[in-house]
Amino acid sequence: MGPLGILMYVMALLVMGLIHYRVYRWRNPKCNGRLPPGSMGLPLIGETIQFLIPSKSIDIPPFIKTRIMKYGPIFKTSLAGLPVVVSSDPEFNYYILQQEGKLVEFWYLDSFAKLIDLRGLGRDGESTPLTSIGHIHKYMRNMVLSQIGAEALRKRILPDMEETCQKALVDWSTQESLDVKKATSSVIFDFTAKLLYGFEPEKNMSERFSYIFQGLLSFPLNIPGTVFHKCLKIYLAYDELTQIFIQNQKMGLKLMKDLMDERRAMPEKHRGDFLDQILDGMKTESFLSDDFSVLAMFAILLASFDIISSSLTLALMFLTEQPMVVKELEKEHEEILRNREQREGGLTWKEYKSMNFTMQVVNESLRMLNVGPGIMRRAIRDIHVNGYTIPEGWTIVIAQSALQLNPETYDDPLSFNPWRWKNLEPTVVAKSFIPFGGGARMCAGADFTKAFIAVFLHHLISKYSWEKVKGGEIIRSPVLGFGDGFYIKIRFIVNGLWAAWSVLSCYENIVTIFVIFDFGAKLLCGFGPEKNTSETFNFLNQDLMYFPLNIPGATFYKCLKIQKMAMKLMKDLIVMDDELYSQRIMRRAIGDIHVNGSTLYINGNISLEMSEMLYM
C-alpha cells in the first residue's frame, strides 16, 4: 500500500470515528443525571417519521401509546431534530403546568416562528424571539378574558351567539348536505372576527386559516407532501390572496392596519372590542407595537375557531350513533323551553348554566378530541422527576391524549359516555382533563368555546333533526382530522301545529275546531291562518289514515294535493326573515301528544314518519 493509500485509509478511519462519535453523542445526550428511558432515533431526524405516521383512530396516537407501554409514562425521543421528553404522568404534568417562568417557559414548534415571524416586534425594531414574550402573556390574557370570558358572555355575547347559531341552522336546513367541520369553521370564524375586530371576512377565508392552523401544529418538515410544506405554500401566496392577518418587518397586514388607522382617526367609532383595547394599550405598553398587535390579533383569531369546529364535528359524529344521549339532551332542553318565563325571549344566562347534561356532552367531546400533538414547554433549568433529569433546553410534551384516554382514569375511554362526568372527582378532572391547558397559561377562550358548543346544541336539539350522509373517518397525523369530511343532512322539525291538530281535530264541533286551530297556529307557529285553512288541514288529517291509492278521485289523491299546499305553508314559515324566525318559528308545543294511539312525538314535535312525508 502506497502513501496515498495509507492516507486514504487514515482519512476513512477518522471519518468513521467522527461519525461513530456523533451517533454516540446523539443517542446519549449530555445530562447532569439520568435521562428518562427511550430512543433518540436516527441522527438529525430522530423519530420524526414514526411520529408522523397517520392513525385512523380516536385512540392515543400509536407513537405515544407503544412507547408508554415500553418505557413508562415519561420517555425521551427526538422530533424534528430536537431533544424531547414526552410525559403522560398526570402528577408531573400538573406540576409542570404550575411552573411557568420558574422551571419551564412557553414554547412551541419552530413552525410557529417561521409562519408568523415574531422577531423584530419592538417599537425600535429590536429582536424579540418567541420564547421571550412570556412576560406579556398575563396582560394579553386579561384583554382576551374581558372580551370573551364568562362575564362578557353573560352580559353581552350570549344573545349574539344564539342568533348566529339560529341563522346558521336555518341556512343549513335548506341544503342537501353539508360538511360539518367546514360549515361550523366558517360560522365561528365569521362570528369571532366580527366580535373582536368589527369586520366581516371574505368567503372561504376560514378554510385558508384552517390550513395555517394545521401547519402551526405540524412539525417543520419542509418536504413535499407534509402539512407544513403545504402551509408554507399557502403562506407564500398570502401576499396576493389573503393579506388580512399577518405582518412582519417587510409586509404589513393591510386590512388590520386600515382598521387601526380608521379607529385612530375616528374615535366616535369606538366599539369597545379587542381592537379598541389594543389601540388603548398601545398608549401605555411599549411592547404593543403595530407589528405585535397585528400578529396578536391574527393568533387569537386563529385559535378561536378550529378547536370549536372540531369539537362540534366530533360531538355530532358521536351523537349520530348515540340515540340515548340525544334523548337525554332533548329532555334537558325541553325542560328549559317548558320553564321559560318569556316564550318569545331568547336563551338566558340562567338557562345556559342549567345545561348540566349538555355540559357533560361538551366535556366528553373535548376529552376525546385532543386536536394537537400535546402541550409544549421548554425547560429553562434542569428538572428532576422520578429519579430522572430533564436537561435545560429540552422540550417537554404533555400528551393530552394519553391523559384523557387513560383507561386507569376513564372506564372504557374510547366510548362516548357523557354520564361518566357525574361521578368524576375534581382532583381527577384537574389533572387528567386539560383540553385548554393549565396553570397560568390556561386558554382564555375556554368559557367561550364551551358556551358556543352548548348554544349550538340547544338549538340543534330543540328544533332540528339530522342524519349522516357520508364520511366521518378519524385521522391523526398527528393533528386530528376528519378525512374527506363528515356530511349530514339537517331538517327543521315541523313543530306542534300538525301534532296538536291531530289531537284537537277529534272534536266533533266544527266551530270549536276552527277556534282551536287558529289559536294553535298563532301560539305554535306565529301566524294567523287564512279563512278555511283549518278545514283543509282537517281533511288532510283524516285522509292520512286512508290507503295510498294515488288515482284521480281517490281520497288519498286529494290528500296529496292538499299536502303540497300544507308543505309550502310550512316552508314559507321556515324561511321567514331572521327576526320573525327567531321570534315565532322557535316556539314549541308543551306536553306529550298522542295521535290515534299509533303515532307519538314528545313535546309537540311531529313523528319522524310524518316529518319525512312532509319533506317528500
Higher pLDDT, 459 or 108: 459
What pLDDT sits at residue 562? 56
Lowest mean pLDDT among 244-248, 285-289, 462-466, 612-616: 612-616
- The model's pLDDT over 146-172, given as tens digits with 9 standing for 90+, comes to 999 999 999 999 999 999 999 999 999
Higher pLDDT, 293 or 431: 431
| C-alpha distances in Å from residue 570, one per residue of 193, 305, 496, 497, 606 | 34, 34, 12, 10, 13
**Partners of residue 390 on adjacent β-strands:** 383
Residue with cell 451517533: 23
Q: Does residue 501 surpass a pLDDT of 90?
A: no
3-state secondary structure of 210: helix
Q: Does residue 388 surpass a pLDDT of 90?
A: yes
What pLDDT sits at residue 563? 54
Give start and end residues of each alpha helix (H) in 98-204: 110-115, 137-148, 150-152, 158-172, 180-197
Binned at pLDDT 50, 70 and 90, residue 299 comes out as confident
- The model's pLDDT over 558-586, given as tens digits with 9 standing for 90+, comes to 555 555 565 555 555 544 444 443 333 33
Q: How far is the C-alpha of 220 from the C-alpha of 209, rounded, in Å?
A: 18
- The model's pLDDT over 466-478, given as tens digits with 9 standing for 90+, comes to 999 999 999 887 7
Q: Does residue 175 surpass a pLDDT of 90?
A: yes
Q: Which three cell numbers stand for residue 45?
A: 431526524
Binned at pLDDT 50, 70 and 90, residue 234 comes out as very low
- The percent of residues in the chain predicted with pLDDT above 70, rounded, is 65
Q: How far is the C-alpha of 466 from the C-alpha of 609, rounded, in Å?
A: 14
Max mean pLDDT among 98-107, 108-117, 295-304 falls in 98-107
Q: How far is the C-alpha of 388 from the C-alpha of 34, rounded, in Å?
A: 5
Q: How far is the C-alpha of 178 from the C-alpha of 169, rounded, in Å?
A: 11
Phi, psi of 77 (to 5 degrees): -160, -175
Cβ contact 482:472 at 8 Å = yes
Burial class (CB in 10 A: 0-12, 13-18, 19+), 499: buried
Which amino acid does the sequence have at 215?
G
What pLDDT sits at residue 514? 42
Q: Work out the average pLDDT over 102-107.
A: 84
Q: How far is the C-alpha of 102 from the C-alpha of 380, rounded, in Å?
A: 8
Q: Work out the average pLDDT over 108-115.
A: 48
| C-alpha distances in Å from residue 376, one per residue of 85, 290, 558, 583 | 10, 28, 68, 47
Burial class (CB in 10 A: 0-12, 13-18, 19+), 416: buried
The overall average pLDDT reported for the chain is 74
Q: Work out the average pLDDT over 48-60.
A: 88
CATH top-level class of 118-201+244-370+405-492 = mainly alpha
Rounded (10°) CA dihedral 423, 426, 429, 435: 120
> Has 443 been labeled as part of a binding site?
yes
Q: How far is the C-alpha of 383 from the C-alpha of 103, rounded, in Å?
A: 7
Q: Does residue 410 surpass a pLDDT of 80?
A: yes
Binned at pLDDT 50, 70 and 90, residue 294 comes out as confident
| Separation of first and last alpha carbons in the chain | 92
Rounded (10°) CA dihedral 424, 430, 435, 441: 170
Phi, psi of 108 (to 5 degrees): -140, 175
- The model's pLDDT over 412-445, given as tens digits with 9 standing for 90+, comes to 999 999 999 998 988 888 999 999 988 878 888 9
3-state secondary structure of 82: strand
What pLDDT sits at residue 193? 85
Q: How many CB atoms lie within 10 A of CB 250?
A: 7
Q: Work out the average pLDDT over 299-307.
A: 76
Nearest one of 46, 19, 450, 52 to 229, comparing CA atoms: 52
Q: How far is the C-alpha of 505 from the C-alpha of 519, rounded, in Å?
A: 13
Lowest mean pLDDT among 6-10, 107-111, 282-286, 592-596: 592-596
The CB-side HSE value for 445 (13 A sphere, CA atoms) comes to: 17
Compute the C-alpha angle 466/469/472, nearest 5°: 100
Q: For the packed helices 205-217 and 290-320, what is the interaxial angle rounded to 10 degrees?
A: 90
Max mean pLDDT among 204-208, 219-223, 351-355, 594-598 falls in 351-355
Cβ contact 220:250 at 8 Å = no
